[in-house]
Amino acid sequence: MAGGPREVLTLQLGHFAGFVGAHWWNQQDAALCRPTDAKEPPGELCPDVLYRTGRTLHGQETYTPRLILMDLKGSLSSLKQEGGLYKDKQLDAAIAWQGKLTTHKEEIYPKNPYLQDLLSAEGVLNSDGIWRVKSIPNGKGPPPFTTATTPKPVLPTEGSIRVWSDFLRVHLHPRSICMIQKYNHDGEAGRLEAFGQGESILKEPKYLEELEDRLHFYVEECDYLQGFQILCDLHNGFSGVGAKAAELLQDEYSGRGIITWGLLPGPYCLGEPQKNIYRLLNTAFGLVHLSAHSSLVCPLSLGGSLGLQPEPPVNFPHLQYDAALPFHCGAILATALDTVTVPYRLCSSPVSMVHLADMLNFSGKKVVTAGATIPFPLVPSQSLPDTLMQLGEATPWTPLSACGDPSGTCCFAQSVVLRGLDRACHTSQLTPGTPLPSPLHACTTGEEVLAQYLQQQQPRVRSSSHLLLTPCKVVPPYPYLFSSSFSQQGLVLDGPPTGAVESIPVLGALCSSSSLNRALGDLAKDLARLDLRRWASFMDAGVEQDDLEETLQELRSLAQCYQSGDSLMD
């Protein structure tokens, strides 16, 4: 990459963001350990965009996510806040006080059985109490792939997953985890429920200074920082934390890209009216405030609606998942995220976060929708033109932004990524002289096939497309969600599977879509119907009546930006 990698700093805010983030980092980690005989060429995606190198106190080189993570007390389970790489037990023993000591210890959470093999796989704890990690070759980059036999890992079960740290297989830097001790993850009391509570957290000097200190630590070691990606819960008080964090980034790092992924768990719980109303309010306040301070905002959810109208979760033709399990939902959304973020993580000719946002957010359209086909349904005997032709004129991806059915809506601009297809199937393999089933079969490159298909689907739309050989990794602890027979590389099979699916092709898209006119408009209508006297506790958290009126007006204005008559060609 000319001039070095364009670094990105990730902020992960909230517990559902933790589930999505844990799957996301596990997928990045799996992609680092590429076998030497891998079919995809090395170097399509640059891991240094997301990762940083460092050294422990004992000179061991490390490779950890460039990440700041905020969550509530009780959310870490057996994961230590300071991580495991830089811990030095000898330093812990150096206590100056020589008098009598009384030690008080919190109850230690047992480590998930699945994680028991993590330490032995990635390093050794010596008898002197010093952790020795595997070294990184050439001073930078992922650890080398080894063919040495290792014990088969214990696969996690849904019942064993309480929190996201139960299946995170990536070591974090000591500056990554920032715990909010004044609110509890578990229990009915002391919860971070409201937008105003979240905003107030980063108004407190303690938490604000802690965040700023971590930001400066990571930013100052970057040579070519392109921006920040925020993974943020929208449904609870972390929407307020995310809004204040985005405001801080906009003020302190002007000109950098800020792309916010607003995360919502599965559908509403019909028997919990207060939780549903709070979800509505937090989502509305979060979208308005985040769009004011971000380059781009994208809601991500497997639910069917942003508002109070109950809608079933989205359906994937080749997946079976439980929408009530964050472990399942997080895996699917992380797979989509790993695909749609490809443009600003490329080694060759990357699209910066700022340029990606500029392409999608013209005319005030700072909110976009996401969609993905997981996995992309390619049969081994077929080519890419064959598969695209079979998809027909319908929208080829499942919507992932809780904006309802995209049928009949129009798209103003889109960024599309197709990954994980072998080069041999990119173009038609018909015998010369055979009549061409479609214009796509006349294309000479896979990139041309994809671009022409998108042009046929949306003739008046500004489109950017990328075609990669690199698939998306779905090795454990990724849950096995595949309902059909797939090969190890995620291709559709007629017969029984040949082994566990290890990677899959994925089609992902970010769209500035008129579906947001209806979705944001319905959200505003639901908000306007609320009798706020019944929800005084939300207002007591620091939100004034004027704030609500302003948010309602901003939401309506935002919805109007997406009226279908407003297009690039008008």
Q: What number of residues does the chain have?
A: 570
Beta bridge partners of 510: 370, 415
CB 203 within 8 A of CB 212: no
List of domains in the chain: 7-32+42-80+160-370 (3.40.50.1440), 378-397+405-512 (no CATH)
| Structural tokens at position 122 | 């990635």
Which of 259-263, 292-296, 445-449, 547-551 has the lowest average pLDDT? 547-551
Residue 349 CB partners (closer than 8 Å, separation 6+): none
pLDDT at 358: 95
Look up residue 346 and give its DSSP letter: B
Q: How confident is the model over 362-397, as pLDDT tens digits?
A: 788 899 999 999 999 999 989 999 999 998 888 899
The amino acid present at 294, given as its one-letter code, is S
Rounded to whole angstroms, the Cα distance separating 387 from 378 reads 6
Q: What is the DSSP string of 80-123?
A: -TT-SSS-BHHHHT-----S------PPPPPPPGGGHHHHHHHE
Look up residue 153 and give its DSSP letter: P
Q: Indicate the pairing of strand 123-125 with strand 67-73.
A: unpaired
Question: Is 39 strand, coil or helix?
Answer: coil
Summarize the confidence of residues 295-308 as an average pLDDT: 94
Answer with the residue of higher pLDDT: 354 or 429: 354
pLDDT at 2: 52
Summarize the confidence of residues 171-198 as an average pLDDT: 88
Beta bridge partners of 463: 414
The amino acid present at 430, given as its one-letter code, is L
Rounded to whole angstroms, the Cα distance separating 567 from 570 reads 6
The amino acid present at 542, given as its one-letter code, is G
Binned at pLDDT 50, 70 and 90, residue 134 comes out as very low
pLDDT at 11: 98
Q: Which of 346, 389, 426 lies closest to 8, judged by CA?
A: 346
Instruction: Examine residue 477 and say whether the peptide bond preceding it is cis (omega within 30 degrees of 0).
Output: yes
CA-CA distances (angstroms) from residue 464 to 392, 426, 511, 564? Answer: 20, 18, 10, 20
Binned at pLDDT 50, 70 and 90, residue 141 comes out as very low
Which of 15-19, 161-165, 294-298 has the lowest average pLDDT? 161-165
pTM of the predicted structure, to 2 decimals: 0.90
